[in-house]
């Protein structure tokens, strides 16, 4: 990478990080409060009634899922709102006409989403330590899954920001797509619970939910066990990242949603 591209990437990344750190009370504190409520309601109040799952207490079981839910939401919302704001203020055009490759622009925006998701992930882990003793079986799996997932949803947020024509448009996907997929993604239940509650059709639907594989791969890093094949889950993450990056690159290169 040339010095010019490195400088451009660093500049965009710093701008994105400064954006959410400047309003940290709005961007970093709410996830901590929300996750605390989840821990209290689902962990403390309901955990004893549900009992252990796959050899772990219910609180230990849901911690990885709640962390992953916070990572997904924050990485997506950060980039989608940031890019649309740049479109709305008409300053994204200055970035796109600059003598830097399109991939540098994508990586700069996505890097900001990854930074926010990583900080929030650490914050949620810190909060969870007040409720349960954290167990980590595989550090590498946790790091790789977090990075791949945050990059994936940051890129998806960028695509949403490209297509969005109003501020309302950037909330459609999180409300009608991400939230249902996340709650059906194994955050609060295991595969053994699926067999008791859902018929074969709905079990199959949940099994093809990519977030279900992400959550379980992340849970494997903490507990050392999962309901999915870890290699398959990580391979799926890599494939989806390549696909969405190609889509974002194509959209920005052609000026879709920006040039009229």
The domain spans of the chain are: 3-254
Please count the other Cβ atoms lying within 10 Å of the Cβ belonging to residue 111. Answer: 21
Amino acid 47: pLDDT: 67
**Interacting residues of 28 by C-beta distance below 8 A, sequence separation 6+:** 20, 116, 119, 120, 123
Average pLDDT of the residues in 149-172: 91
Of 12-16, 168-172, 186-190, which one has max mean pLDDT?
12-16
Which has more pLDDT, 190 or 116? 116
pLDDT in tens, 191-238: 667 666 666 666 677 778 899 999 999 999 998 888 888 999 999 999
Residue 57 is given by DSSP the state -
Which has more pLDDT, 46 or 134? 134
pTM, entire model: 0.91
Q: How far apart are CA 50 and CA 250, in angstroms?
A: 47
Please count the other Cβ atoms lying within 10 Å of the Cβ belonging to residue 175. Answer: 9
């Amino acid at each position: 990478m040339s010095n010019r591209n490195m400088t451009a990437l660093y500049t965009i990344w710093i701008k994105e990080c400064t954006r959410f750190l400047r309003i940290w009370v709005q961007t970093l504190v709410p996830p901590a409060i929300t996750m605390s409520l989840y821990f209290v309601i689902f962990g403390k109040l309901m955990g004893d009634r549900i009992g252990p799952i796959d050899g772990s207490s219910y609180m230990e079981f849901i911690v990885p899922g709640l962390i992953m839910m916070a990572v997904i939401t924050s990485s997506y919302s950060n980039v989608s709102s940031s890019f649309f704001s740049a479109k709305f203020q008409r300053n994204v055009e200055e970035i796109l006409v600059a003598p830097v490759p399109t991939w540098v622009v994508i990586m700069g925006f996505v890097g900001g989403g990854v930074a926010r998701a990583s900080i929030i992930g650490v914050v949620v882990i810190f909060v969870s330590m007040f409720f349960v003793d954290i167990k980590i079986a595989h550090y590498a799996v946790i790091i790789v899954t977090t990075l791949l997932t945050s990059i994936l949803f940051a890129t998806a947020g960028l695509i949403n920001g490209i297509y969005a024509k109003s501020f309302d448009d950037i909330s459609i996907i999180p409300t009608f797509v991400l939230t249902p997929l996340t709650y059906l993604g194994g955050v609060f239940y295991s595969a053994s619970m699926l067999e008791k509650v859902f018929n074969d059709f709905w079990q199959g639907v949940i099994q093809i939910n990519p977030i279900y594989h992400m959550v379980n791969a992340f849970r494997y890093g903490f507990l050392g066990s999962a309901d999915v094949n870890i290699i398959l889950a990580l391979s799926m993450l890599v494939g989806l990242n390549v696909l969405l990056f190609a889509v974002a690159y194509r959209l920005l290169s052609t000026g879709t949603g920006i040039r009229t």
